[in-house]
């Protein structure tokens, strides 16, 4: 991270841009090669699954293309490299939902713990790969003085929460005919250094669950006045806290230990398969992923596990407390990005 921020410090000179390009070109093939090797080490029958095989081919092709790119010695060559990176990033947009489908079909061939370890490692590595690539791409489109590439030095949680809540609320109203309000309180003037698209995914995933639980539980108990979702922001010396509180009935004791497991979902599979176009979760996932993960994955049970990995990537955490028949409190802790540490 220290290196990425250093390359983006204003004023951005040609030499700095070329240094960033060379750094990106040297780091990405190594990380891509590790993903290729990890996929090769899967059991043979799993590796031949069409979904998993297609992801393997994408990583292998990206490794070959970037490794074969000539040395970057001019701004013209850098522009060509940035365009190549953009194409590569876009081609990998559906990797996680594709892997999710593949492992759903192959879960009988691997232990659940082995699948979890593989996916945890894969997703963490994917975040780092995309971060390095997108950082260099963003340096070519630098306009906002608060941004260093894709890193916002003055991220405003309140503003971002409002944007996510508005979108989720609109989709909720379309799907259910009603939606709760979101109340934001606490230290609402908080700003900190973070990657906004990561925070967008985390917040959208948590809000998505709270909205759906609130509406469906209200329908179940014939509650016509929907209680609001309460989001509280706090700022400490080295971290930011966000609590999302709902009155959506909570999570049963038998389901609580599984909420951060891959493929665990409370979305009825028949409903997801038969009505994919109007399911609130599909729309929210499509919006929230953006460059961070890519693709609708609702109903596949990857939402909260992914959100937790995104929070943990920079030293944060997500914890959930449930009061059954009442609601849930989700506690998000985000560490201020420390420029003295590298990813």
CATH number of 151-335: 3.30.565.10
Average confidence (pLDDT) over 255-271: 67
Of the listed ranges 131-140, 215-224, 225-234, 262-271, the least confidently predicted one is 262-271
pLDDT of residue 1: 66
pTM: 0.85
* 3-state SS track over 265-285: CCCCHHHHHHCCCCCHHHHHH
Query: Can you read off the two tokens belonging to residue 275?
Result: 């009505």
CATH of domain 2-148: 1.20.140.20
Cα–Cα distance list, 122 to 116, 145, 258 (Å): 10, 33, 20
- Average pLDDT on 148-152 reads 89
- Domain boundaries of the chain, sorted by first residue: 2-148, 151-335
Stated as kind and residue range, the H or E segment containing 207 is: helix 196-220
Mean pLDDT of 260-288: 49
Position 268 confidence tier, pLDDT thresholds 50, 70, 90: low
Does pLDDT of 211 surpass 90? yes
Of the candidates 225, 234, 128, 243, which has an alpha carbon nearest to the alpha carbon of residue 181?
225
Helix (H, G, I), strand (E, B) or coil at 184: strand
Over residues 62-103, the pLDDT tens digits come to 999 999 999 999 999 999 999 999 999 999 988 988 998 899
- Per-residue pLDDT, averaged over 4-27, amounts to 83
Nearest Cα to 24, choosing from 165, 150, 187?
150
Average pLDDT score over residue span 291-296: 35
Distance CA 140, CA 149 (A): 8
Q: What is the pLDDT of residue 24?
A: 94
In the chain, % of residues over pLDDT 70? 85
Give the confidence band of 288 by pLDDT, cuts at 50, 70, 90.
very low
Q: How many CB atoms lie within 10 A of CB 121?
A: 13
Range scoring the smallest mean pLDDT among 3-12, 64-73, 77-86, 133-142: 3-12
Please report the pLDDT score of residue 186 as a whole number. 97
Say yes or no to pLDDT of 251 above 50: yes
Give me the pLDDT at residue 301, please.
61
- Asked whether residue 304 carries a pLDDT value surpassing 50, the answer given is yes
Encode 137-172: b = buried (16+ Cβ within 10 Å), e = exposed: bbbbeeeeeebbbbbbbebbbbebbeebbebbbebb
């Amino acid at each position: 991270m220290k290196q990425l921020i250093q390359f983006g410090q204003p004023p951005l000179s040609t030499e700095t841009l070329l240094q960033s390009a060379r750094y990106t070109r040297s780091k990405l093939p190594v990380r891509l090669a590790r993903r290729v090797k990890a996929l090769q080490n899967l059991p043979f029958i799993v590796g031949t699954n069409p979904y998993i095989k297609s992801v393997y081919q994408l990583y292998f092709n990206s490794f070959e293309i970037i490794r074969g790119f000539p040395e970057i010695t001019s701004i013209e060559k850098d522009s060509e490299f940035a365009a190549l990176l953009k194409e590569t990033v876009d081609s990998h947009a559906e990797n996680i939902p594709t892997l999710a489908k593949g492992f759903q079909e192959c879960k009988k061939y691997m232990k659940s713990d082995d699948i979890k370890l593989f996916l945890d490692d894969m997703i963490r590595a994917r975040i780092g790969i995309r971060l390095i690539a997108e950082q260099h791409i963003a340096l070519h489109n630098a306009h906002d003085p608060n941004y260093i590439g894709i890193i916002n030095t003055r991220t405003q949680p309140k503003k971002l929460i409002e944007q996510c809540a508005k979108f989720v609320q609109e989709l909720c109203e379309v799907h259910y005919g009603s939606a709760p309000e979101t109340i934001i309180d606490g230290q609402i003037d908080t700003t900190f250094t973070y990657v906004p698209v990561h925070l967008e995914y985390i917040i959208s995933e948590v809000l998505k669950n709270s909205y759906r639980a609130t509406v469906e539980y209200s329908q179940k108990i014939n509650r016509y006045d929907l209680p609001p979702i309460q989001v509280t922001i706090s700022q400490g010396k080295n971290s930011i806290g966000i609590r999302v509180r709902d009155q959506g009935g909570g999570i049963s004791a038998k389901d609580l230990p599984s909420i951060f497991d891959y493929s665990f979902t409370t979305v009825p599979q028949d409903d997801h398969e038969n009505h994919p176009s109007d399911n609130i979760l599909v729309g929210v996932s499509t919006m929230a992923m953006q460059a961070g993960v890519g693709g609708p994955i609702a109903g596949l049970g990857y939402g909260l596990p992914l959100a937790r990995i995104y929070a943990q990537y920079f030293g944060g955490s997500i914890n959930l407390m449930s009061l059954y028949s009442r609601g849930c409190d989700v506690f998000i802790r985000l560490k201020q990005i420390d420029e003295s540490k590298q990813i």
